[in-house]
């Protein structure tokens, strides 16, 4: 767990969905390199609220693990080279003209998270009203 701890640390107090997903990916890479910490993964997984977000964290973990297993470092056949290629040198440059438009997070509406999964606010009266289609 030396690589993950050095890069990310384990002394965090709260994570948002994106941070949890990133850490899960890195934990997947570390697990593939023989440095798996189940307690850290469970703590990261518990930080997200919805089932959809938990699925994203699990998917990121599996993706990191798979990419690390399939990665063939260009210069060395070494765990550090895999770590460096997949974690340390993952710099993504996005052209402003290529930014996706639409949805509340800027991703296409077809794959955006739906509001139907959000829990209703218990303080709103509408949440307990009879649906309109049941009225005569």
pLDDT, tens digit (0-9, with 9 covering 90-100), for 46-92: 998 888 888 889 999 999 888 888 877 665 657 777 888 788 775 54
Any domain includes 123 = no
d(CA 122, CA 15): 25
Q: Which of 40, 107, 32 is nearest to 63 (CA)?
A: 32
Any domain includes 44 = yes
If one counts the domains in the chain, the total is 1
pLDDT confidence of residue 61: 92
Residue 88's domain spans which residues?
A: 2-93
pLDDT, tens digit (0-9, with 9 covering 90-100), for 12-32: 888 888 888 988 998 998 898
The percent of residues in the chain predicted with pLDDT above 70, rounded, is 71
Give the global pTM: 0.63
State the chain's mean pLDDT as an integer.
78
Any domain includes 105 = no
CA distances (Å), 121 to each of 85, 89, 94, 118, in order?
Answer: 44, 42, 37, 9
Any domain includes 132 = no
Any domain includes 122 = no
| DSSP label of 88 | I
């Amino acid at each position: 767990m030396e690589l993950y701890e050095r890069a990310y640390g384990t002394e965090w107090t709260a994570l948002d969905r994106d941070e949890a997903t990133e850490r899960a990916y890195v934990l997947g890479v570390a697990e593939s390199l023989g440095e798996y910490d189940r307690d850290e993964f469970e703590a990261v997984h518990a930080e997200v609220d919805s089932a959809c977000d938990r699925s994203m964290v699990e998917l990121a973990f599996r993706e990191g693990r798979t990419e690390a297993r399939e990665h063939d470092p260009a210069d060395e056949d070494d765990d550090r080279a895999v770590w460096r290629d997949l974690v340390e040198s993952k710099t993504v440059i996005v052209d402003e003209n290529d930014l996706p438009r639409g949805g509340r997070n800027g991703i296409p509406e077809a794959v955006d998270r739906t509001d139907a999964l959000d829990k209703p606010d218990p303080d709103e009266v509408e949440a307990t009203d009879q649906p309109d289609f049941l009225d005569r």
